[in-house]
């Protein structure tokens, strides 16, 4: 018997911006020019300044080498003069580094600034533990510098320690309450903890201080989207693209909001704009491939997902969409390989298990399909389509009662899910529950705006199958 089968689903969560990328401080030396021979103080001063220039130019490895020399020179002078005498020399020659926050200035001892900037360079290189060690040293030397706590918070968040990150952001705010970046990053951490209302409050505070902080707008939009406030999310993205028309995640996220609002053409236009302004970013290609899959333009979807994979081969959603495009082109083995690889990258994705289950089902492997559907349900039991398709696989195996139970769960989750009524009706026909089956079929016709033109033929086929199975069917 032919079955009415749910389309594969793809996760369409809003992509969030990363932590603030402005990982540099304005460090201004107020020390007078040092004359005479190349003293350790002069070496430290020149190496430090050269390190700052290299950092600004993106030469992070070179900057770290210069900061190393600056610290070595400082420590060498400390050893040469002794701690007490060296401290006087440092005060005379190396103090006067200022951290300028715009309306708030903190003076730091030079070694604190060197540790801080070396920590920032290491953080940008992904050397998280080394960065944390440097920031610890900077904080020991200058415990009232808000920026060091901000950047240590970013580093700790990179390790997954959200609570420690929030503690550091809060300390930065204690020292400097108008620190927009600290409000923003604390909002990101709270969002990642699922504290959406607190995250919204922090993003609001960041934007009150810095109204043109587009990352805060885009992240606030993401939280509003997750809370179902599509209008608020759209307003934030609209403002973000008005402020910065090249903010690709603002375009990308507005596309997903428009999709949720049913504006398919607007979504396609926005995600294409995201690709135009940031062709090196993989995520917009993934999302456009999702839209193309919705339009059944499988060759174009395949091309976009391949582009995303080329840009970021570790993106499971790119492999997942590549598999969906292949599956819809009847390349089930290729689709299976893609889903397998995607699950290696993200072994807890319910969408990937669901879609691989659909591939197994299409290959006639009902048991393997059920195993994948059950995994999808384990990770997210609130998706009606998964219960529906799991019911279909049980139906094919002849386990009609279990299939009906699965269709029941699908309808409990989404009472307007037309396919589950149609499929439950087919199963009830085989159980000789004709009145209930007819009620399900009526619900399907009411709920489905574009009913299957072969639906009546399917019902007759089910009745024929029931006649063939009659000796095995217990009347209920």
Please determine, for residue 2, whether its predicted confidence score (pLDDT) is greater than 60. no
Please determine, for residue 137, whether its predicted confidence score (pLDDT) is greater than 70. yes
Could you read off the pLDDT of 253-276 as tens digits, one per residue?
999 999 999 999 999 999 999 999
Q: 3-state class of 108 per DSSP?
A: strand
Burial bucket for residue 476 (CB in 10 Å: 0-12, 13-18, 19+)? exposed
Q: What is the mean pLDDT of the chain?
A: 87
Distance CA 362, CA 402 (A): 20
Domains in the chain with CATH codes: 382-476 (1.25.40.10)
Distance CA 113, CA 99 (A): 9
Per-residue pLDDT averaged across 284-310, rounded?
96
**The three-state (H, E, C) secondary structure of 109-148, written as one string:** CHHHHHHHHHHHHHHHCCCHHHHHHHHHHHHHHCCCCHHH
Burial bucket for residue 84 (CB in 10 Å: 0-12, 13-18, 19+)? exposed
State the pLDDT at residue 46.
Answer: 86
State the pLDDT at residue 39.
Answer: 46
Per-residue pLDDT averaged across 151-164, rounded?
95
Task: Please report which confidence band the pLDDT of residue 146 belongs to, taking 50, 70 and 90 as the band edges.
Answer: very high
Please determine, for residue 224, whether its predicted confidence score (pLDDT) is greater than 70. yes
Please determine, for residue 24, whether its predicted confidence score (pLDDT) is greater than 50. no
Residue 197: other Cβ atoms inside 10 A: 9
Please determine, for residue 20, whether its predicted confidence score (pLDDT) is greater than 90. no
Q: Please calculate the CA angle 52-57-61 and round it to the nearest 5 degrees.
A: 70
The region of weakest confidence among 4-13, 60-69, 278-287, 299-308 is: 4-13
Distance CA 221, CA 256 (A): 11
Question: CA quadruple 400, 402, 405, 411: dihedral positive or negative?
Answer: negative
Residue 381: other Cβ atoms inside 10 A: 12
As a whole-number percent, the residues of the chain with pLDDT over 90 amount to 75
Could you read off the pLDDT of 362-378 as tens digits, one per residue?
999 999 999 999 999 99
State the pLDDT at residue 79.
Answer: 62
Could you read off the pLDDT of 74-132 as tens digits, one per residue?
777 666 555 554 455 444 444 457 777 777 778 888 889 899 999 999 999 999 999 99
Q: 3-state class of 97 per DSSP?
A: strand
Please determine, for residue 43, whether its predicted confidence score (pLDDT) is greater than 50. yes
Per-residue pLDDT averaged across 30-51, rounded?
57
Max Cα–Cα distance, the chain, nearest Å: 107
Strand arrangement, sheet containing 105-108 = 27-29, 97-100, 105-108
Task: Please report which confidence band the pLDDT of residue 247 belongs to, taking 50, 70 and 90 as the band edges.
Answer: very high
Beta bridge partners of 100: 105
Straight-line distance from the first to the last Cα atom of the chain, in angstroms, rounded to the nearest whole number: 22
As a whole-number percent, the residues of the chain with pLDDT over 70 amount to 85
The region of weakest confidence among 80-94, 208-222, 402-416 is: 80-94
pTM of the model: 0.79
Please determine, for residue 170, whether its predicted confidence score (pLDDT) is greater than 90. yes
Burial bucket for residue 102 (CB in 10 Å: 0-12, 13-18, 19+)? exposed
Residue of 180, 179, 223, 182 whose CA lies nearest to 200:
223
Question: Could you give the dihedral angle defined by the CA atoms of residues 68, 24, 15 and 268, in that order, rounded to the nearest 10 degrees?
Answer: -120
Task: Please report which confidence band the pLDDT of residue 9 belongs to, taking 50, 70 and 90 as the band edges.
Answer: very low
Q: 3-state class of 106 per DSSP?
A: strand
Per-residue pLDDT averaged across 352-370, rounded?
96
Question: CA quadruple 300, 302, 305, 309: dihedral positive or negative?
Answer: negative
Q: Please calculate the CA angle 304-310-314 and round it to the nearest 5 degrees.
A: 105
State the pLDDT at residue 107.
Answer: 82
Per-residue pLDDT averaged across 220-237, rounded?
95
Per-residue pLDDT averaged across 315-344, rounded?
96
Residue of 217, 194, 185, 190 whose CA lies nearest to 204:
217
- Range list of β-strands (E), 260-322: none
Residue of 10, 1, 30 whose CA lies nearest to 294:
10
- Strand 105-108 versus strand 97-100 pairing type: antiparallel
For residue 259, what are its two tokens?
């999709």
């Amino acid at each position: 018997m032919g079955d009415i089968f749910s389309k594969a689903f793809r996760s369409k969560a809003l992509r969030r911006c990363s932590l603030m990328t402005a990982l540099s401080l304005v460090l201004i030396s107020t020390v007078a020019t040092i004359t005479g021979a190349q003293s350790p103080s002069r070496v430290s001063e020149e190496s430090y300044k050269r390190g700052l220039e290299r950092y600004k130019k993106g030469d992070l490895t070179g900057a770290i080498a210069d900061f190393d020399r600056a610290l070595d020179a400082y420590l060498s002078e400390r050893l040469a003069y002794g701690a007490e005498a060296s401290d006087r020399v440092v005060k005379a020659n190396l103090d006067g580094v200022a951290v300028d926050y715009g309306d708030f200035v903190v003076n730091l001892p030079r070694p604190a600034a060197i540790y801080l900037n070396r920590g920032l360079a290491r953080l940008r290189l992904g050397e998280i533990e080394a960065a944390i060690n440097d920031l610890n040293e900077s904080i020991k030397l200058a415990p009232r510098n808000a920026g060091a706590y901000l950047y240590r918070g970013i580093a700790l968040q990179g390790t997954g320690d959200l609570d420690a990150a929030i503690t550091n952001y809060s300390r930065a705010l204690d020292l400097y309450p108008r620190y927009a970046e600290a409000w923003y990053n604390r909002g990101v951490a709270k969002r990642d903890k699922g504290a959406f209302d607190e995250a919204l409050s922090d993003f609001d505070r960041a934007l009150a201080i810095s109204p043109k902080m587009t990352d805060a707008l885009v992240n606030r939009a993401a939280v509003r989207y997750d809370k179902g406030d599509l209008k608020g999310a759209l307003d934030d993205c609209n403002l973000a693209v008005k402020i910065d028309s090249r903010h690709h995640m603002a375009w990308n996220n507005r596309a997903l909001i428009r999709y949720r609002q049913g504006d398919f053409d607007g979504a396609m236009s926005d995600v294409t704009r995201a690709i135009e302004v940031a062709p090196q970013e993989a995520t917009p290609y993934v999302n456009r491939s999702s839209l193309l899959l919705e339009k059944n333009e499988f060759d174009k979807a395949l091309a976009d997902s391949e582009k995303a994979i080329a840009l970021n081969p570790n993106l499971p959603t790119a492999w997942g969409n590549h598999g969906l495009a292949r599956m819809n082109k009847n390349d089930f083995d290729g689709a299976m390989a893609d889903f397998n690889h995607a699950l290696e990258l993200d072994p807890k994705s319910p969408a990937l298990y669901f879609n691989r289950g659909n591939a197994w089902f299409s290959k006639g492997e009902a048991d393997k399909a059920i195993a994948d559907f059950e995994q999808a349900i384990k990770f997210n039991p609130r998706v009606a389509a998964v219960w529906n398709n799991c019911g279909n696989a049980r139906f094919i195996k002849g386990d009609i009662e279990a299939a009906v139970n699965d269709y029941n769960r699908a309808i409990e989750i989404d009472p307007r899910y037309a396919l589950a009524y149609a499929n439950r009706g087919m199963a009830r026909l085989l159980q000789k529950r004709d009145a209930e089956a007819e009620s399900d079929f009526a619900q399907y016709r009411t709920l489905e705006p574009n009913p299957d033109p072969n639906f009546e033929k399917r019902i007759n086929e089910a009745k024929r199958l029931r006649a063939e199975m009659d000796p095995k069917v217990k009347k209920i």
